[in-house]
């Protein structure tokens, strides 16, 4: 482990303790949360907040390591086997407790039980898993998918299944990229739906799943998709809104058409021929909407929100990223399937292409359009992707001035620009402020599950780094996020 990485600040995967508490419950919640997530480390011997290296006395090292190992193996179910080692930093000894991502989720504290003792990690903090997250962890632990589970009190009629198969084949033909691809589309059968998990078969009877309900728009599934247009870069001035309540495959098309109606169109000339082009790549818009619908967490309440601002298209879906998936991995084409039945159905209908290829293609299309790189934000249980529009030069000039001043501020005596990085807490704060610029520090603390003191500390740091600016008065002002 690099020593520098130990001092990067608390994040989704690292936590600090000044000493080893006598009461192991004070760090056992984080042990469980790391096992339920992407893994992580607890570093004993560093003071949180100040990042001062205080160290662990040499005489206590091995006694404390034995105590930590016993506490972790005895307190958690299923059993968690920790990895402990000693790291020397600034001449002092630290104890590193490393927890690997678990394969038998959910993990919980035995004394508290499954419901109250299951914890997860969000934006550098540990919090109890809510009912939706607990259900998803239970499904993950059994290698099952929500959309393949039977839906209660819904019956299947042969005529409805036949109509669904016909409708899906017509959708596949409509979305085919070529005549050859159209000719290769095969008839869709009941057996194919069963193999995908859209339907289950038990004792000769067909049983519908949540995927079937979403494809046929029954039993309240899928939730509505909320679309809106705002005049500025925030939600202050509202222009238009629409709710799309339809089968999930129709939601893709209707939401896509809504965005195309609202964005600008220009022209490109090749010789005497004029070609109309949208300001954002249409294929990327469609891909983004389809991926949001097929990969969202349907155990979480709420709707997918598609918001068009003066500077960006914002697509927000409930559930955040799955464990093991990061924004960086997404950009490289890494993907995990959250709803396997829907993913198969969407692939058949040509609504999505090869799994994992979507976001690299979006990056390429935006680059070809000369647009800023799309942004992926995983915060507070939601996933947001921003496609940035081209704006006029006036706001860009102001932004450039701010960035230049900030670069000057963050330059060492040799004239070399120092990198300005954000930790998970700062990213979570910025993401929430972008969503609600007029929020108070108390509201930000409540929304991000961070303490008020932590919010005050990090908003000050964000202002110093040039990412955040307070506009107006203390009582009637708002936050302005400076995008870089």
pLDDT tens, position by position, 440-449: 888 888 888 7
Domain residues of the chain, as ranges?
A: 3-144, 153-390, 393-481
The pLDDT tens digits for 259-304 are 999 999 876 665 555 667 899 999 999 999 999 999 999 999 899 9
Confidence of residue 204 (pLDDT cuts 50, 70, 90): confident
Strand locations in 262-374 (E): 265-270, 273-278, 305-308, 312-318
Q: What is the percentage of the chain residues whose pLDDT exceeds 70?
A: 88
Burial of 473 (0-12, 13-18, 19+ CB in 10 A): exposed
Instruction: Give residue 200's pLDDT band: very low, low, confident or very high (50, 70, 90).
Output: very high
Q: Is the pLDDT of residue 164 over 70?
A: yes
Q: Region 8-31: what's the mean pLDDT?
A: 90
How many other β-carbons are positioned within 10 Å of the β-carbon of residue 122?
A: 23
Token pair for 326: 């990061």
pLDDT score recorded for residue 378: 85
Q: Is the confidence at residue 4, as pLDDT, over 60?
A: no
pLDDT tens by residue, 378-415: 876 799 999 999 875 433 333 333 433 343 334 333 33
Q: How confident is the model at residue 483 (pLDDT cuts 50, 70, 90)?
A: low
pLDDT for 401 equals 34
Specify the pLDDT at position 324: 82
**Tokens (6 digits) for 262:** 């609202």
Give the integer Cα–Cα distance in Å for 300 and 321.
Answer: 13
How confident is the prediction for the chain on average, in pLDDT? 86
Name the residue with higher pLDDT: 334 or 269.
334
Query: What predicted TM-score, i.e. pTM, was given to this entire model?
Result: 0.73
Q: Report the chain's C-alpha Rg in angstroms.
A: 25
Q: Residue 12: pLDDT band by 50, 70, 90 thresholds?
A: confident
At 404 the pLDDT is 34
What kind of fold does domain 3-144 have according to CATH? Answer: 3.30.950
The answer to whether domain 393-481 has CATH 3.60.10.10 is no
Q: Give the residue-averaged pLDDT of 323-335.
A: 86
In the CATH scheme, what is the code of domain 153-390? Answer: 3.30.565.60
């Amino acid at each position: 482990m690099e020593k520098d990485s130990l001092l990067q600040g608390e994040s989704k995967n690292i936590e600090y303790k000044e000493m080893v508490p006598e009461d192991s419950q004070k760090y056992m919640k984080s042990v469980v949360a790391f096992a339920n997530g992407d893994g992580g480390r607890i570093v004993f011997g560093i003071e949180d907040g100040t990042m001062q290296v205080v160290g662990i006395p040499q005489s206590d090292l091995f006694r404390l390591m034995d105590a930590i190992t016993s506490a972790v193996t005895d307190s958690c179910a299923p059993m968690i086997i920790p990895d402990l080692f000693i790291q020397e930093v600034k001449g002092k000894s630290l104890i590193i407790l490393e927890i690997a991502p678990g394969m038998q989720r959910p993990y919980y504290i035995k004394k508290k039980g499954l419901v109250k003792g299951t914890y997860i990690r969000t934006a550098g903090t540990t919090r109890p898993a809510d009912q939706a997250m607990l259900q998803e962890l239970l499904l993950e632990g059994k290698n099952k998918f929500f959309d393949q589970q039977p839906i209660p009190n819904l019956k299947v009629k042969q005529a409805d299944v036949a109509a669904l198969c016909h409708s899906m084949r017509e959708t596949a033909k409509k979305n085919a990229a070529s005549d050859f691809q159209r000719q290769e589309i095969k008839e869709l059968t009941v057996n194919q739906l069963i193999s995908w998990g859209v339907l289950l078969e038990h004792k000769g009877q067909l049983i519908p799943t949540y995927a079937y309900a979403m494809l046929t728009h029954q039993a309240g599934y899928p939730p509505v998709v909320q679309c809106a247009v705002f005049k500025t870069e925030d939600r202050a001035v509202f222009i238009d809104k629409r709710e799309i309540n339809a089968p999930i495959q129709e939601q893709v098309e209707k939401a896509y058409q809504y965005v195309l109606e609202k964005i600008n169109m220009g022209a490109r000339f090749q010789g005497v021929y004029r070609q109309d082009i949208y300001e954002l790549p249409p294929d990327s818009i469609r891909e983004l909407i389809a991926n949001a619908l097929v990969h969202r967490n349907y155990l979480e309440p709420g709707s997918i929100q598609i918001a068009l601002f003066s500077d960006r298209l914002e697509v927000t879906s409930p559930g955040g990223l799955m464990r093991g998936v990061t924004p960086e991995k997404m950009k490289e084409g890494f993907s995990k399937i959250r709803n396997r039945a829907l993913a198969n159905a969407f692939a058949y209908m040509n609504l999505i292409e090869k799994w994992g290829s979507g976001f690299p293609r979006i990056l390429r299309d935006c680059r070809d359009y000369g647009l800023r790189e799309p942004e992926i934000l995983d915060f507070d249980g939601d996933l947001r992707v921003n496609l940035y529009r081209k704006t006029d030069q006036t706001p860009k000039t102001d932004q450039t001035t701010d960035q230049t001043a900030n670069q000057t501020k963050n330059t060492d005596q040799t004239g070399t620009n120092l990198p300005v990085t954000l930790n998970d807490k700062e990213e979570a704060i910025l993401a929430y402020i972008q969503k609600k610029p007029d929020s108070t520090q108390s509201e930000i603390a409540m929304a991000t599950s961070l303490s008020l003191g932590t919010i005050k500390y990090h908003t000050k740091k964000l202002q110093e780094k040039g990412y955040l600016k307070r506009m107006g008065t203390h009582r009637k002002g708002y936050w302005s996020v400076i995008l870089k």
